[in-house]
Amino acid sequence: MDIIEDLRCIVGDAHVLTGKDAAFFGRDWTGAYEGTPLCAVRPGSTDEVAEVVKAAAAAGIAVVPVAGNTGLMGGTHAPGRIALSLERMNRVREIRPQARLAVVEAGVVLSQLHDAADQHGLVFPLTFGARGSARIGGVLGTNAGGSNVLRYGNTRSLCLGIEVVLPSGEVMDLMTELMKDNSGYDLRDLFIGAEGTLGIVTAAVMRLYAKPAAYATAMVAVPDLGDALDLLNTLQTATGGAVEAFEYMPRNYIDAHLAHDPAAKTPFARQYDHNIMVEIGATAPRDAEVAEDGTVPVQAQLEQALAHMIEDGRVLDAHVARSEAERRAIWARREIAGELTVAGGHSVITDVSVPLDRVAEFLDRAERAIAARDPDARSMVVSHLGDGNIHLTIWPTDHSEAQYDAMMEIVEEIVLDLRGSFSAEHGIGLGKRGSMARRKDAVAVAVMKQIKAALDPQGIMNPGKVLPD
């Protein structure tokens, strides 16, 4: 095809992949979305991305940006389309320690940015299980969250500026390094979370933070989620908001982990229904200096708070990590969640958020409604409890599309009633377009479609994603 030759002229023969060479781009990480792309193109610069988009527009062929391909909603599904990978654009261009920012290309892997920041005693705080494969362009595309949103916010909060190739092939420079810039509409936020449907992010300015000098990490068992929120609020007040992670792993999650990994261990000597992983990060020297008896103030602070709550019955059991190895083991238990979700087979993956004090109500209502629909369905829950984000995975006995939609609607109905959102951090892709049609405010959807039509009149940027028909 002429378009293939045109693309080879732009990026070189070695960087236009077809057939078996493009297999990686034909199947998403979950295995739920498969389709052979026309080709996969790997430009090496923003100028090359712009030329690829111009060529695609001239040929009337859609372009689907692909980052680490670790999404869960089919956002990179590209059958018969050009899969555009920014994996070659993977430079950390600059780390500016005094300004606490990093200038990076969109193909930078998340863990790569972690390592680059660490060399300067700083952190890029976005983290989740796929950090070794997820790329900056992808996390910007979905406005990814992860486990540290409680303290640092999601990706949108961590980004100062972006560079975007528009559907016309024009390059828009929004690479601001400013905290304050009120010069017109905030176009940056328009493209973050748009999943490549409005343009392709090629570079970004990301915020960095002081690296905690000490961590206090623990597994805590509580009688119920009300007590868990008491613990969160107590620790936030005592530490001045230094709680970095507050993750909920109920009994069904622990059971799934034990069944999946023969080497896995229970958090405690006995099983509890409600288990919390909590981590506090101390940046102030007074909270991180090791005392003569070997204790660290932030750890002692956590232990003291837990002891008081054990005395009054609001905490049933607790284990505080005594070493970095123990801390990593606690994190590994949480970060295997994605693997557990996929390993269970055909599933209904939900990613919702509700007000913190309504999480328990959501889980109770969802459990009863799912059982009423399919008494033998299995489910698993893991939650970023500190920000109200719940990942409820359902394995129904009936794998039909009708059952899938019914389960999604059950969850959506409860979320809507609790004034929550059916999409917290995974994006919309293909998997939640039905939810967008059913639950998103109709006026909001109409405005989104107007924006899409204005910026991408040919409809070549990741078509069929995010917006409902």
2-85: CATH topology is 3.30.43
92-210: CATH topology is 3.30.465
For the chain, what are the domain ranges? 2-85, 92-210, 214-337, 344-455
Spatial CA neighbour of 321 closest among 308, 333, 309: 333
344-455: CATH topology is Alpha-Beta Plaits (3.30.70)
Task: Tokens for 399, please give them.
Answer: 């794998």
The pLDDT of residue 61 is: 96
CATH of 214-337, one of 3.40.50.300, 3.30.70.2190, 3.40.50.620, 3.90.180.10: 3.30.70.2190
DSSP H helical ranges for 86-199: 110-118, 136-142, 149-152, 187-191
The pLDDT of residue 47 is: 98
pTM beyond 0.75: yes
Spans of the chain below 50 pLDDT: none
Calpha distance 88→44 (Å, rounded) = 5
Kindly give, in sequence order, each residue whose CB lies less than 8 Å from that of residue 248, ignoring residues fewer than 6 positions away: 225, 228, 274, 275, 276, 359, 381, 382, 383, 384, 385
CATH topology match: 92-210 vs 214-337: no
The pLDDT of residue 215 is: 94
Calpha distance 431→279 (Å, rounded) = 32
Tally of CB atoms within 10 A around 240: 10
The pLDDT of residue 1 is: 60
N-terminal to C-terminal alpha carbon distance within the chain: 30
The pLDDT of residue 29 is: 79
The pLDDT of residue 130 is: 86
The sign of the dihedral angle between the CA atoms of 288, 239, 119, 101 is negative
426 and 128 in contact (C-beta within 8 Å)? no
- CA dist list (Å): 451 to 194, 204, 459: 11, 22, 11
Tally of CB atoms within 10 A around 79: 15
The pLDDT of residue 363 is: 97
The pLDDT of residue 469 is: 85
List residues bridging with 27 in a β-sheet.
34
